[in-house]
A = this chain, B = another copy of it.
Amino acid sequence: MTPTSRTTVRRKADRARYDRAVVHGVLDEALHCTVAFAVDGRPWAIPTIHARVGDALYLHGAPANHMLQSAVAGTEVCVTATLVDGLVLARSWFHHSVNYRSVVLFGRAVRVDDIAEKRVALRALVEHVMEGRSDDAREPTDGELRATLVLRVPIDEASAKVRTGGPIDDDDDLALDVWAGDLPLRVQAGVPRPDPLLDGARAATVPSYVRVWSPAGSAAVGERVGEGVDEVTQ
């Protein structure tokens, strides 16, 4: 993607990534994003779930949703998504850091009215929460689709920022007798909990996509940025 005046990373420019694959990878792996918008010149931000389909980011909510109302009214949005990959412990306070991958996306959200596109967007939102799920669960009726507000933000003006690796200490601090290094982190799933309203036999048949869940594309992204996501203990 071509950096614009808004997406050109100024601080720590060596961490900037403008390639679409990295931007898409962060958006796909992040379980939520934050949508910022301005109301009468004052900042608002709301965390929400999202899904990417090609070069479009979809958001959804009830029609009364404040964020969506503002966006529908033509307000620009700034969407951020962030993955924390690890904690970085330097020999000085000053150089402590976190390893992360983040995306900042600017755009104008437009309301999706086409029922077929809304269905595609909602399927993507379900799949974003749990890949493989949309074929099992009941699809929405046209009435439900009409009652859901869906917004599309083009993924055109965006940048990613990535920090990987260990601490970078001042030369003068290298001789200090202090352990330094980094601690990889990742999102880990626990034991699935069946809905109490399921009967016993149904409750026991946990779908495979639930049992094997892991963050979308995390291994691939970990390899791409040269980080030790795979080294995290299972």
Chain A positions within 8 Å of B, measured between CB atoms, are 6, 10-11, 31-32, 34, 36-38, 41-47, 49, 61-62, 64-66, 75-80, 82, 84, 86-94, 96-98, 100, 102, 104, 122-123, 125-126, 129-130, 133-134, 136-140, 144, 148, 166-167, 169, 173-174, 176-198, 202-203, 205-207, 210, 213, 228, 231-233
A233 near B191 with CB under 8 A, answer yes
Given contacts A47-B82, A78-B44, A179-B205, contact A92 B32 (CB under 8 A): no
A183 contact from B43, B61, B82, B192, Cβ within 8 A:
B192
Residue on B with the closest CB to A70?
Answer: B43
Complex Cα spacing A202 to B153, Å: 50
Q: How far is the CA of A32 from the CA of B163 in the complex (A)?
A: 14
On whether the beta carbons of B78 and A47 are closer than 8 Å, the reply is no
Decide: B180 and A195 in contact? CB cutoff 8 A: yes
A195 cross-chain contacts in B, Cβ below 8 A? 166-167, 169, 180-182
State whether B138 touches A173 (Cβ < 8 A).
yes
Provide the residues of chain B in CB contact with A97, threshold 8 Å.
Answer: 129
Q: How far is the CB of A54 from chain B (nearest CB, A)?
A: 20
Q: List 19 A-B contacts (CB under 8 A).
A: A36-B45, A43-B75, A47-B100, A89-B129, A90-B137, A92-B137, A92-B138, A92-B139, A93-B126, A93-B134, A96-B125, A98-B129, A136-B178, A138-B176, A179-B203, A179-B210, A180-B197, A183-B213, A187-B187
Q: What's the minimum C-beta distance from A89 to chain B, rounded to whole angstroms? A: 6
In the complex, what distance in Å separates the CA atom of A89 from the CA atom of B131? 11
The answer to whether A122 and B140 touch across the interface, beta carbons within 8 angstroms, is no
Bound form: Cα–Cα A144–B95 in Å: 11
Q: A44-B36, A140-B92 are in contact. Are A232 and B104 (CB under 8 A)?
A: no
Would A80 and B46 be within 8 Å (CB), given that A64-B10, A180-B198, A206-B179 are in contact?
Answer: yes
Of B10, B65, B182, B191, which is within 8 A of A193 by CB?
Answer: B182
Which residue from chain B places its CB closest to the CB of A92 in the assembled complex? B138
Distance of A221 Cα from B72 Cα, bound (Å): 36
CA distance A198 to B64 in the complex (A): 56
Asked if B36 and A231 sit within 8 Å, CB to CB, the answer is no
Given known pairs A38-B42, A136-B178, A205-B179, the reply for A188 and B78 (CB within 8 Å) is no
